[in-house]
Amino acid sequence: MEYDLIWEHRDLFLEGVWTTIWLIATSLFIGGIVAIPLALAQAYKVPYLGRAAAAYSYAYRGTPLLVQLYLLYYGLAQFEAVRDSIFWPLLKRPEICAVIAFSMNSAAYVCEMIRGAILAIPKGEIEAAEAIGMSPFKLTRRIIIPSALRKALPAYSNEVIFMLHASVIASTITITDILGAGRTLNGMYYLAYEGLITAAVLYLIIVFIVDRIFNQAEKRFLAHLVR
C-alpha cells in the first residue's frame, strides 16, 4: 500500500467525502418530500393520482439507477429544445443531474415504504382520532404521517445505505465523489488498488456512522413498540 500517496492526496478524498455526503443528503431530503404525497395518494387510492403514483414507483424501481442517470445527463442534451431552455444551465451540470436522478429514484422506494407503513397503522388509532373530531387533514398530519414515518424508520435506514452505495455511479459522469477520488489517485500513479481500498474504507466508516445514528433514532422513536 502506498500510504504516503494516500496521505499526500487526503484533500482529494476529503473532497470526495464531502461531495458524496452532499449528494446523498440532498437527494434523500428531496426524495422524502416527494415520497410522502405519492404514498398518501396510493394508500388512499386517490382517483388518477393513486395510479399515477403507482406507475411512477414501478417505473423507477423497475429500471437501473445508472440508466436513469445516463438518460438524464446524456439523453436530455440531445434535444435542442432542452439546450435552449432556461433549465439548461442547471441540467448541463453533472451534480444537478445526479441529485435529480438520485432524488427521483429514492422517492420511488421511500414511497413504497411509507405506503406500507400507512396501511399497517392500527385502525384503532384512526378511529380514536376521528372520535374526538379530527378533520381528515389534521388526522393525516398529526396521526397518520408521524406514525407511518416511525414505522418506516428501520426500512429507511437500509434505503440510506443503499443510496450511499448506489452513489458510486456519480463518478461515471465526471463527479469527484469518494469512488471518483480513488479512481483519480489510481489513474495519476498507475496504481492497482490503493485508491479503491481507501474509498472502500471511507464508505465503511460512513455506513458505520449512519447505522449508529439510525439505531439511536429507532431506540427513541420506536421505544413504545418494544415488549
- Could you tell me which of 163, 178, 188, 148 has the C-alpha nearest to residue 104? 163
pTM of the complete model: 0.91
Task: Assess whether pLDDT exceeds 90 at residue 193.
Answer: no
Residue 110 to residue 60: CA distance in whole angstroms: 11
Rounded mean pLDDT, 18-28? 96
Q: What grid cell was written down for 85?
A: 431552455
Residue 64 to residue 62: CA distance in whole angstroms: 7
pLDDT for res 210: 95
Q: How far is CA 31 from the centre of its chain?
A: 6
Task: Assess whether pLDDT exceeds 70 at residue 224.
Answer: no
Task: Assess whether pLDDT exceeds 60 at residue 226.
Answer: no
Q: Which of 29-33, 184-188, 193-197 has the highest mean pLDDT?
A: 29-33
CB 190 within 8 Å of CB 207: no
CB 195 within 8 Å of CB 185: yes
